[in-house]
Amino acid sequence: MDGSTRLIESGEDVLLYMNERKSWIVKVEPEKKFHSHKGIVDLGELVGKPYGYEVKTTLGATLKAMPADYLDHLERIARRTQVIYPKDMAYIALMGNVRSGSIVLECGTGSGALTSYLAGLVRPNGKVITYEIREEFQANARKNLERLGLMDSIEMKLKDITGGIDEKSLDAVVLDMATPWLVIGTVYDALRTGGRVVSFSPTINQIEKTVDEMQKTGFVSIKTVELIMRTYKVKVNETRPDMIMVGHTGYIVSARKC
């Protein structure tokens, strides 16, 4: 076993990988069994084994034990709302200049997918404050974020941003709400000089109103983009774009306080 191979410990989340379409995250514990349509796995068998170990189910299927990382958990996040796609998350964080130590306000929390991505970036000394107006959405998001182990970098508030922002001198504000143009002035006051706002909206009329309000308020460096991602089927002599793709997800408007 080379020095880069880590052993599986009791209590760890492990990805049982069969193929690109079938995999499961399980918590490894002695005397615990995992049941699926492919058979049963004795999870206690994995304790002390190296990651990459192949285990057989009772029906003869082969599953490879891999470390369950952030993206594995993100794909399985419990959704009460439509989540922002990874391609959009990364650009939102970039245009918000979100990095370690940043203090970021997010509105709204939704299922917590974007919250989790931002929280991972601001660690260890930064914070994400996230506003949500619906208690049931916040409760679901909290469970997701606790499962990811990120709550030490997150403050959750059941609050309507149209009623004002508690925080001042923020590094960035991220808006994922139906009427972002209504709070642009409030956001401007809450940002530090040079701070950035990024807003995600699915329709053209939303971004028209948002950009117009940003211009009136005094924001600069206003940019609007739509990101289209195309995946490929790759096989020797058969490589081509996939027949099905994610088309429009939303428009991203970013700006900076001068």
- 175 is written with which tokens? 């808006």
How confident is the model at residue 3, as a pLDDT? 46
Is the whole-model pTM more than 0.75?
yes
Q: What is the pLDDT of residues 141-191, one digit of tens each?
A: 999 999 999 999 999 999 999 999 999 999 999 999 999 999 999 999 999
Please, which pLDDT band fits residue 20 given cuts at 50, 70 and 90? confident
Residue type, 189: D
Q: What is the CATH number of domain 74-256?
A: 3.40.50.150
Domain map of the chain by residue range? 13-68, 74-256
CA gap 38, 62 in Å, rounded:
9
Q: Does residue 82 surpass a pLDDT of 90?
A: no
How confident is the model at residue 2, as a pLDDT? 52
Please, which pLDDT band fits residue 246 given cuts at 50, 70 and 90? confident
How confident is the model at residue 24, as a pLDDT? 95
**Domain 13-68: top CATH class:** alpha beta
Rounded percentage of the chain residues whose pLDDT exceeds 90: 89
| Average pLDDT of every residue of the chain | 94
The CB-based long-range contact list for 152-156 (8 Å cut-off, 24+ gap) reads 153/119, 153/120, 153/122, 153/123, 153/124, 153/126, 153/127, 153/128, 154/115, 154/119, 154/127, 154/128, 154/129, 154/130, 155/127, 155/128, 155/129, 155/130, 156/109, 156/130, 156/132
Please, which pLDDT band fits residue 213 given cuts at 50, 70 and 90? very high
Please, which pLDDT band fits residue 4 given cuts at 50, 70 and 90? low
The CB-based long-range contact list for 210-219 (8 Å cut-off, 24+ gap) reads 210/180, 210/181, 210/184, 210/253, 211/253, 212/181, 213/181, 213/184, 213/185, 214/184, 214/253, 214/255, 217/184, 217/185, 217/188, 218/188, 218/257, 218/258, 219/184, 219/188, 219/255, 219/256, 219/257, 219/258
